Structure formats: C-alpha cells, structure tokens
Amino acid sequence: MKSVVVQDLVVSYGEVEAVRGTSFSVGAGEVFGLLGPNGAGKTSVLRVLVALRRPQGGQAWVLGREVTADPRAVRRVIGYVPQALSADGSLTGRENAFLFARLYGLEPRRRRARIDEVLGLMGLGPAADALVQTYSGGMVRRLEIACALISSPRVLLLDEPTLGLDPGARRGVWEHLHRQRDESEMTILVTTHYMDEAQQHCDRVAVMSAGQVLAEDTPADLRARLRPDATLEDVFIALTGTGLGEDKGGMREVARTRRTARRLG
C-alpha cells in the first residue's frame, strides 16, 4: 500500500490558487522529496496532509485513510515538522520534548524513556538540558524532528528541514533522518529547495511549480531522461524554465528568516 496519495488536489487562499490539481504518491518506507521554488505550493500540500487545511478540491490519503474524512486517524500516525520555527528557545531541549510528549498524549510513565530515546536518536543527548537558545541552527532543527518523532509516527512530513543551515548541519540532519528511517521503516516526505540534497537523499521526487506537479520519478531516472550528465538542478530548470539561484530574492528572504529565527531572540 502507498503511504501517501495525493490526487487532483486544489488549495486556494481567496483569489490565489496555490495548488492546482496536484497528484503524486509516496511508497511505504520511501524518502520522497517534494521540490519546487518559492510559492510552488509545497507547504499548502503538506497542510492538507496534516489536516490543518481543507482542500477546495481533490483528495489525499495517508496510510489508506482519506485526510478530510478522518483527520484524527491521520494525525495519530504522522509526525510534522513545520517550515516555521516550532521549538521554544527559553526551554531546554528536554522540556520542549516533554511538551510534545504531552501534546501527543504519551502515557506519563512512558514519557521519560521516550524523550531520552528521541533526543538520543537525533544526537542531542549531551545537549538535552541546555537552553535551546544556545543551540546551533542544526541542533534546533534536529530537536524539532525529535519532537515530531515522539509518537513513533509511521509517516514523517518535514517542510524545508534544512533551510538556512550550513552544509555540515544539513548533512547532520539528513544522516539522522536516514538512520531513523532505516531503524523504523518510517516513510519520509520532505519539501526542499535544495536540488543537490534531493539528488543525494531522496528515493523519489516530484517537481512542483505554480501549483502543479511537472514530473515524478527517481532522481536518477529524471536525470538520465534529460541527458547522461544532467544534475537534478538541470532537470528542474528544464522542467520549470527557472533556476533556483541565490539571486532569487524570495529564497534569500526565507533563508534569512530562518537564520534570524534560529537565534531565538
């Protein structure tokens, strides 16, 4: 069975049609990348999948359950790391994790062990009792992932998990995600701007632009179809007619937001 199926999805905000008939599917245990430039509609798709927004059209299933028909059942099996900052800098890592353990309704007697476990999984054991405002950007992101793992989700949805991080921190986030996936056979759906990351870390990807999926396949097959030496970024440019260079004000803006946010006041 597919872990996630999105079919003809439409999401509008007033006049703005952010998602315009998007379809793709994610196999069980896959690391799947939803790729696209600013405003492509990636976050809007994730909001539907985590039942935070009702679509104007189409349907979405997570582990066979239709999201709008059974949002509670879907929320019980997913973990979600939103694009915006979700960790509280004035608390320690352990205290942040404790809040999520309560939020997810973890039994009190299981909380302590599970919190130690997820913090350890994300390499935060030694920093567990430090205030999050002293963490690096990569550590903050790994804490947010740890919090999303507390309920042992079968599907983890991450919105731009590495945005604004330096290369070492990005690698750290991915190493921890892969380890977690290998141990638990969890399905991972991630959005990203970074084509190099998608090429290296995703089993399959969907390229999205202006609310529509233009292609869906393994990075290797997409590249081979364009030309033998093509990178995923070449594929992206060929499909969308646009690059993702640093000259894009929008992307720089988001990266800056994330950098500022990670200082946490």
Contacts of 179 (CB under 8 A, 6+ apart): 121
Q: What angle do CA 201, 173, 4 make, to 5 degrees?
A: 55
Nearer to ligand ATP, 41 or 93 (CB): 41
- In the complex, the smallest distance separating the C-beta of residue 258 from ligand ATP, rounded to whole angstroms, is 10
Q: How far is the CB of 158 from ligand ATP (least distance, A)?
A: 12
Residue 16 interface partner, choices ligand ATP, Mg ion, none, CB cut-off 5-8 Å depending on type: ligand ATP
- Supply the minimum distance, in Å, between the C-beta of residue 37 and ligand ATP: 7
Residue 143 C-beta: closest distance to ligand ATP, Å: 21
Nearest Cα residue to 148 out of 109, 168, 176, 182 = 176
Q: What is the footprint of ligand ATP within residues 75-94 (CB under 6 A)?
A: 83
- Among Mg ion, ligand ATP, none, the one that 38 touches (CB under a kind-dependent 5 to 8 A) is ligand ATP
Which residue stretch of 31-39, 212-220, 222-230, 257-265 sits at the interface with ligand ATP (rule: CB under 6 A)?
31-39
Interface with Mg ion, residue 22, by CB under 5 A = no
Q: State both tokens at 73.
A: 């059942």
For ligand ATP, the closer of residues 91 and 254 by Cβ is: 254
Taking CB under 5 A as the criterion, which residues in 54-113 touch Mg ion? Answer: 83
Counting contacts by CB under 6 A, is residue 41 touching ligand ATP? yes
How buried is 44 (Cβ within 10 angstroms: 0-12 exposed, 13-18 middle, 19+ buried)?
buried
Give me Rg for the CA atoms of the chain. 18
Q: CB 220: neighbour CB atoms within 10 A?
A: 11
Nearer to ligand ATP, 44 or 240 (CB): 44
Residue 119 Cβ, how far from Mg ion at the closest point, in Å?
A: 27
Closest distance of CB 33 from Mg ion, Å:
13
**Residue among 39, 123, 125, 243 that touches ligand ATP (CB under 6 A):** 39
Say whether residue 44 binds Mg ion (CB under 5 A). no
Site string for Mg ion, 110-129 (x = CB under 5 A): --------------------
Identified binder of Mg ion from the candidate list 3, 43, 209, 240, rule CB under 5 A:
43
Residues that bind Mg ion (CB under 5 A): 42-43, 83
